[in-house]
């Protein structure tokens, strides 16, 4: 039997009278890179936020590490969150703290049992993994867009999570920086070997980093498969999205 780390069943969520999720059921395996693609505003980020308990579904169930999650039990969610890391769309770095302090803050709260020396070692390791050595003292506003993403990524992995969630890791970056972030995610995967769940509308990134890709359209999963299957599919929605055509069944 396959070991599923996250399972969702028939998730439904309505925001501002709009059905954002309309019955999303997925099973995510351990140690795979699972990517969710789709147009902007179809509920990809909303789905991701359900997985870490930042939003509660109107209907449906979520199982994490085989346990059913109860949205009224914040303590249980906090236990799960200790095993998760999340890269936010805009970075969501605390701008009153330096790069090092941002990472330290995470360890202080998620791994209070570590000694001071171990914490500093973990911070150094995380920054090395994202190729930003010796930047602990830099302030957040002084970072460039690409660096900010890297620091946010370092913050997401510093506590050695078992699952890392990526919300649009390459949005708003130039093509070269995008490529380098993709490369980074790919190499990071080999180094820390955990489950990655990525949300993106960047089809190139998705193909490059993913083991499996799912596409969301109108709140429903309309395709799940490997990048090769994505190439070969004749699903008209997927074909239109992958090739970036303005004409097809998807209307803007």
Burial (Cβ within 10 Å: 0-12, 13-18, ≥19) of residue 101? middle
For residue 95, the 8-state DSSP code is T
Return the number of the residue (106 or 221) whose C-beta is nearest other proteins: 106
Residue 245 C-beta: closest distance to other proteins, Å: 31
- Could you identify the residue written with the tokens 């059905």? 19
We find the least distance from the C-beta atom of residue 163 to other proteins, in angstroms, to be 11
What are 166's strand-pairing partners? 87, 198
**Interface contacts to other proteins, rule CB under 8 A:** 49, 52-54, 74, 78, 81-82, 84-86, 88-94, 105-106, 109-110
- Nearer residue to other proteins within complex by CB, 86 or 127: 86
| First-last CA distance in the chain | 41
Whose Cβ is closer to other proteins: residue 138's or residue 222's? 138
Give min distance, CB of 126 to other proteins, in A: 14
β-bridge partners, 24: 11
**Tokens read off for 156:** 């997401």
CB of 190 to other proteins, least distance (A): 24
Question: C-beta of 84: minimal distance to other proteins in Å?
Answer: 7
Output the smallest distance, CB 152 to other proteins, in A.
Answer: 9
197: which residues sit within 8 A by CB, 6+ positions away?
Answer: 6, 28, 33, 34, 35, 36, 48, 51, 163, 164, 165, 166
Would you say how long the chain is, in residues?
252
Q: Is the dihedral of CA 212, 155, 15, 42 positive or negative?
A: negative
Nearer to other proteins, 84 or 241 (CB): 84
Residue (51 or 188) nearer to other proteins, CB: 51
Which residue number, 47 or 88, has a Cβ lying nearer to other proteins? 88
């Amino acid at each position: 039997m396959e070991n599923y780390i996250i399972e969702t069943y028939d998730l439904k969520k309505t925001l501002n009278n709009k059905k954002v999720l309309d019955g999303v059921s997925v099973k995510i395996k351990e140690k795979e890179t699972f990517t969710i693609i789709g147009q902007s505003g179809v509920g990809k980020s909303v789905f991701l936020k359900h997985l870490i308990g930042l939003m509660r579904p109107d209907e449906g169930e979520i199982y994490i590490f085989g346990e059913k999650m109860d949205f009224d039990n914040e303590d249980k969610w906090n236990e799960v969150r200790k095993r998760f890391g999340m890269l936010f769309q805009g970075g969501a770095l605390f701008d009153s703290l330096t790069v090092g302090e941002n990472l330290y803050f995470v360890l202080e709260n998620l791994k209070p049992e570590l000694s001071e020396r171990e914490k500093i070692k973990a911070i150094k390791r995380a920054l090395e993994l994202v190729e930003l050595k010796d930047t602990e003292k830099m302030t957040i506003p002084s970072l460039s867009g690409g660096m900010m993403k890297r620091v946010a990524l370092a913050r997401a992995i510093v506590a050695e999570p078992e699952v890392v969630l990526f919300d649009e890791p390459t949005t708003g970056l130039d093509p070269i920086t995008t490529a380098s972030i993709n490369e980074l995610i790919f190499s990071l995967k080999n180094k820390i070997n955990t489950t990655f769940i990525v949300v993106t509308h960047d089809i190139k990134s998705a193909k490059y980093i993913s083991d499996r890709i799912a596409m969301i359209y109108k709140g429903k999963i309309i395709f799940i498969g490997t990048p090769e299957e994505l190439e070969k599919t004749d699903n008209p929605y997927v074909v239109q999205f992958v090739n970036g055509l303005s004409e097809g069944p998807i209307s803007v």
